[in-house]
Amino acid sequence: MRVAMYYNNGDVRMEELPVPEIGPGEMLVKVISSGICGSDVLEWYRIKKAPLVLGHEIAGDIIEVGEGIDRSWMGKRVFVSHHIPCNTCHYCLRGYHTACETLHTTNYDPGGFAEYIRIPRLNVDRGVFVLPDEMTYDQGVFVEPLGCVIRGQRIANLRPGQSVLILGSGISGLLHLLLAQTLGAGKVIMTDLSDFRLKMALDFGADAAIDAHEYSPGILRDFNDGRLADLVIVCTGAPSAFNHALKSVDRGGTILCFATTEPDVNLAVPINQFWRNEIKLMPSYGNAPIDAIEAIELIRGRRVSVEKMITHRLSLKEAWLGFKLVAESGDSMKVIIEPHK
């Protein structure tokens, strides 16, 4: 089978690997659509494991099932989670599913930028979700990233009427915008360096889209009735964005670190100011099965409309271009690889 093998952001090659053989309790899925995630181009993180086949935002068809699995699964259209929790450890039982060691160590074989993937038994048990008839494969690609956004806004406790500042208007920023609108947020203000992305933010309903070079808390106040933001969501790894977040959150507000920096970056938090004003600083990583289920329902019901975010559909042979587009953060948003095209 054909795969897109990742060596670095500038070197993604179409290569051949054997079609994975499945065992008891496993499934073989034909990948129809596979999205490139911003985390796929975190070169400092990915390159130490290279070469490897990336891709975790997939939708496809079950074409083979192992011993012990009901054959009625054959042919079903599915989204499959690559990371799944054990649901029994200390962290899962406290609701911190994405801190579970099982979630951090599970995956499918080899990765979503391949014509076929093997779904291990544990992922079959709690990571395979049937796509409703109303959903396309391309919409299925958004289940994983939207699930992450759902989890982030839930732990940040976004409430109706609250103002939201989103730093970074890439795919995660736009999904945060759409979910915040669905949940009844008040004003939603976004920033980015890219004119293309700022325009998309406005097209998707942001109340304001500000050039990150020109952004300041004072400009935020101008767009937000003189106040800072109740919720600040950081959707870019740029250290400047995290520093902007510290200065842009209102009293009693929350900063959600949805993105991450490189590992050696430290953030100087004004603890005394945060203590006096009851400001919360929290991260959010990944998603759990319940978040995927909610994502599917929101997309199925068109409460979160994702189709217009797709700017490119590419073949495996063109995967190098997809990685280039996502890494450069230029005139692209969601880039989808179609392995069988």
pLDDT, tens digit, 9 for 90 and up, residues 251-291: 999 999 999 999 989 999 999 999 999 999 999 999 999 99
Residue 298 placed within a domain: no
What lies within 8 Å, CB to CB, of 151 at 6+ separation is: 98, 284, 286, 287, 288, 291
pLDDT of residue 334: 98
Over residues 85-121, the pLDDT tens digits come to 999 999 999 999 999 999 999 999 999 999 999 999 9
Average pLDDT over residues 304-324: 97
E strand or H helix that includes residue 63? strand 57-65
Specify which residues 93 forms β-bridges with. none
Residue 245 CA to residue 234 CA, distance in Å, equals 7
Residue 293 placed within a domain: no
Q: What Å distances lie between residue 129 and 74, 77, 144, CA to CA?
A: 13, 9, 11
As for how many domains the chain has, the answer is: 2
Helix crossing, 171-182 with 143-156: angle to 10°? 60
Residue 121 placed within a domain: yes
- Is the pLDDT reported for residue 177 higher than 90? yes
Residue 289 placed within a domain: no
Over residues 116-149, the pLDDT tens digits come to 999 999 999 999 999 999 999 999 999 999 999 9
Reported pTM: 0.97
Residue 248 placed within a domain: yes
189 and 121: one domain? no
* Residue of 103, 150, 90, 123 lying closest to 284 (CA atoms): 150
- Is the pLDDT reported for residue 330 higher than 90? no
- Is the pLDDT reported for residue 317 higher than 90? yes
134 and 180: one domain? no
E strand or H helix that includes residue 165? strand 164-167
116 and 155: one domain? no
Q: What is the CATH number of the domain that holds 318?
A: 3.90.180.10
Asked whether the bond before 110 is cis by omega within 30 degrees of 0, the reply is yes
Structure tokens given for 54: 């990336």
261 and 317: one domain? no
Specify which residues 129 forms β-bridges with. 79
* Residue of 127, 96, 123 lying closest to 284 (CA atoms): 96
Whole domain around residue 278: which residue ranges?
A: 148-283
Helix crossing, 171-182 with 195-203: angle to 10°? 20
Running DSSP on this structure, what letter comes out for residue 153? H
70 and 9: one domain? yes
pLDDT of residue 244: 97
153 and 77: one domain? no
6 and 136: one domain? yes
Over residues 17-64, the pLDDT tens digits come to 999 999 999 999 999 999 999 999 999 889 999 999 999 999 999 999
* pLDDT averaged over every residue in the chain: 97
Residue 318 placed within a domain: yes
CB 337 within 8 A of CB 316: yes
Specify which residues 119 forms β-bridges with. 27
Query: pLDDT over 90 for what percent of the chain?
Result: 98
Structure tokens given for 234: 């950081």
Residue 297 placed within a domain: no
Q: What is the CATH number of the domain that holds 169?
A: 3.40.50.720
10 phi and psi angles, rounded to 5 deg: -100, 5
9 and 128: one domain? yes
Query: What's the angle, vertex CA 258, arms to CA 261 and CA 94, rounded to 5?
Result: 115
What lies within 8 Å, CB to CB, of 293 at 6+ separation is: 129
CB 146 within 8 A of CB 299: yes
The one-letter amino acid code at 293 reads I
109 and 170: one domain? no
Residue 291 placed within a domain: no
| Pairing of the two strands 249-257 and 280-283 | parallel
- Is the pLDDT reported for residue 79 higher than 90? yes
99 and 19: one domain? yes
132 and 10: one domain? yes
Q: Which long-range contacts (CB under 8 A, 24 or more apart) does 99-106 make?
A: 99/285, 103/286, 103/288, 106/82
6 and 80: one domain? yes
169: pLDDT confidence band, cut at 50, 70 and 90? very high
Question: Quick one: the chain helix, strand, coil %, rounded to 5?
Answer: 35, 25, 40
Average pLDDT over residues 183-191: 98
The one-letter amino acid code at 305 reads S
Q: Which of 268, 283, 298 corresponds to the end of one domain? A: 283
